[in-house]
Amino acid sequence: MATSLTISAYLACLAMERLRESKVPTDTILRQVGLTRAQTSNYEGRIPFHKHAALLEAAARETHCPLFGLRLGQSVNVKDFGLLGYIALNSTTLGDALRNVQRYSRVYSDGADLTLVQEGARAAIVQRVLDPRALGSPQAVELGLSVTQHVMSALVGFEIRAVAIEFAHERLGPTSAYRRILKPPVRFNAGRNATIVEANLLDAPVRAADNQLLKYLERHAQDVLSQRSGSRDIRHQVQTSIASRLQSGEPTIDTVARELGMSSRTLARRLSEHGVTYRELLNDLRHQLALRYLKDGWHRNSQIAYLLGFSEISAFNHAFKRWTGSTPSNIRAAR
**Per-residue CA distances from 257 to 95, 133, 282 (Å):** 28, 22, 13
**Per-residue CA distances from 283 to 112, 271, 287 (Å):** 22, 15, 6
pLDDT digits (tens, 9 = 90+) for 88-106: 999 999 999 999 999 999 9
Of 199, 196, 202, residue with least CA distance to 92? 202
pLDDT digits (tens, 9 = 90+) for 39-87: 999 998 899 999 999 999 999 999 999 999 999 999 999 999 999 999 9
Average pLDDT, the chain: 91
Q: How far is CA 10 from the centre of its chain?
A: 15
> Is the Cβ–Cβ distance between 87 and 101 less than 8 Å?
yes
- So what's the pLDDT on residue 2? 42
Q: How far is CA 133 from the centre of its chain?
A: 11
Q: pLDDT band at 3, cuts 50/70/90?
A: low
Domains of the chain: residue spans and CATH? 67-215 (no CATH), 234-333 (1.10.10.60)
Q: Alpha-carbon distance 48 to 34, whole Å?
A: 10
Q: What is the pTM of this model?
A: 0.77
pLDDT digits (tens, 9 = 90+) for 231-265: 567 888 898 888 878 878 899 999 999 988 889 99
> Is the Cβ–Cβ distance between 301 and 329 less than 8 Å?
yes
Q: CB neighbours (10 Å) of residue 71? A: 17
